[in-house]
Structure formats: C-alpha cells, structure tokens
Amino acid sequence: MTGTKQAGIDRTSGVALWRQIADDIRVAIGAGEFREAGKLPGEMALAERFGVNRHTVRAAISALQNEGIVKAKAGRGTEILSDLRLKMPISRRTRFSTGLGGQARRPETAYIAAGEAAASDEVAAALAIAPGSLCVTLESLGLADGIPVSLAFHYFPAARFAGIAEHFRRERSVTRSFAAMGLADYVRVSTDISARHADEYERDWLRLTPGGIVLEALAVNADLEGVPVQYSRTRFSAGRVSLHVGTDGEL
C-alpha cells in the first residue's frame, strides 16, 4: 500500500507540505532514526527523500527550530537538540510531584486560578454527587525544570472541601492540601486517556506550537472508603511526556 509514491506526501489534504514534512521529521527523531549521527541529513537528501523542493524542506526545518527541537548551523548541518520524554506513572498512588521525582528533575506546580462552579452531568457522575451541586475548581500548571509539562483543571465537592483552594495556593500540592483538610490518603480510581491537537489556551500555557498534541487524562480520585474526592482533567504536552500504566503493582 505504501508503494511507489514518495514517502507519504499529499498535496491536497489541507495540510501544507512543509508542515507534513516537519511532522514526519519530528516522528523520525522521536523514533531515534538520526540518534547515531546526532543531526539531520542534509537539506538536499531530505528534499530527495520527501520528493519536494529544497525550499520546502527549509520551511519544515525552520518550524522545527522554532519548536526548539533542532538547531541549524551553516556548514555544520542541523543538530538534534532533544528527543527526551518524561515518564509519568499512572497507578493507584498517582501524584504529580512524586511521579516525576525519580527522574532527576526538579518538579514544580504553579497556581493558575481557583473558583466555584455547579457540577455538570459529567463532573457530577465522576464525583457521585447531584448534578448542579457546587464544586470548588482549581487550575494548575505542572513544570519540570521550568518547562511546562501539564495543565490541570480540578473539581472538588464544595460540601467537603470548601477551603481547599486557599490551602493549594500556599501548599502548591493537592496531596498536602487534602492532608491539611484532614484527608490523609487517597487513591486513583480511574483514568481516561485520549489525544488531540492542543487548542489555543493549551498551546499558550504549555508553550506548544500550532499543531502541537496534548494527552488528555480524565481522572477520578477517591478516599479510602471509595468516596470520590477529586475529578481532574489534565492535559500533558505529548512531546514531553508519556504515561506509564503499571497494571501489576503499586507505585
């Protein structure tokens, strides 16, 4: 099926050639295709490979430079800067800071906003409360070494966690905020994972370029009696994070 035509380039798909080629090169870098050389093949070689003009390849490389993935130097070639991904564990004891702790990086959580909202059907079902019940909302940004990796929107039942936003503002941690309100422990009940293109708001906070991808995780946490205490929608920068599900044991 892949056959004769030059490596998968479609000219009437609504996606500019330079963007298709940039995406292809990004995937190839992630797959480790150029890891040995540490740099991309020359512009002429790439133009040949994709069956396009050298100018088009230059536009693609320029886009990858803006993303901070490669760095082109006259006479030297195009160096590959980073193809690393953080591994975020998903288990019964999923927590942001400890999840990234083992990877020799400085994890950090930033406060974005807090508020109140009536529970939509979706939120109400997840938290096992009546639709329309009041929820405390909290928005936060997760960073590793100063680079944003996740953007989270949390819902807590207001009846039980009325003042949690103030705690979070000081503590910068959901776990410690729960603890300050008398909830010593909690577990992850379920996680729903999907992927899509980032919208403008997500691109802004996660510093993604147009066409960037987010992994969206819808998660429910519950106390040890199984009563839901938190519903959150976390969007991970797909280029910087993978999710690791260990189905055999705890973290």
Angstrom distance (rounded) from CA 72 to CA 205: 27
- Cβ pair 106, 145 in contact under 8 A: yes
The tokens of 55 are what?
A: 């100018």
Angstrom distance (rounded) from CA 33 to CA 82: 13
215 near a second copy, rule: CB under 8 A: yes
Candidates 131, 137, 160; CA nearest to 222 is 160
Site of tokens 């800071």: 97
Q: Note the maximum CA span of the chain.
A: 65
Binding segment for a second copy among 103-111, 149-157, 164-172, 185-193 (CB under 8 A)? 185-193
16 near a second copy, rule: CB under 8 A: yes
Candidates 77, 100, 98; CA nearest to 88 is 100
Per CB under 7 A, contacts with DNA among 22-41 are 40
Binding mask 55-74 toward DNA (x if CB under 7 A, else -) reads xx-xx-x----------xxx
Per CB under 8 A, contacts with a second copy among 222-241 are 238-239, 241
Contacts of 196 (CB under 8 A, 6+ apart): 213, 214, 216
Q: Which residues of 2-34 are buried (b: 16+ CB within 10 A; e: fewer)?
A: eeeeeeebeeeeeeebbebbbbbbbeebeeeeb
87 near a second copy, rule: CB under 8 A: yes
- 4 interacts with, out of a second copy, DNA, none, CB within 5 to 8 A per kind: none
11 near DNA, rule: CB under 7 A: yes
Binding segment for a second copy among 9-17, 66-74, 99-107, 171-179 (CB under 8 A)? 9-17
222: buried, middle or exposed (CB in 10 Å: 19+, 13-18, 0-12)? middle
The tokens of 246 are what?
A: 């260990």
- 74 interacts with, out of a second copy, DNA, none, CB within 5 to 8 A per kind: DNA
68 near a second copy, rule: CB under 8 A: no
Binding segment for DNA among 29-37, 54-62, 131-139, 219-227 (CB under 7 A)? 54-62
Smallest gap, in angstroms, from Cβ of residue 222 to a second copy?
Answer: 8
Q: What are the residues binding DNA (CB under 7 A)?
A: 1-2, 11-14, 16-19, 40, 42-44, 51-53, 55-56, 58-59, 61, 72-78
Q: What are the residues binding a second copy (CB under 8 A)?
A: 1-2, 7-8, 10, 12-16, 18-20, 22-24, 26-28, 30, 59, 63, 85, 87, 90-92, 94, 187-201, 203-205, 209-211, 213-215, 238-239, 241-248
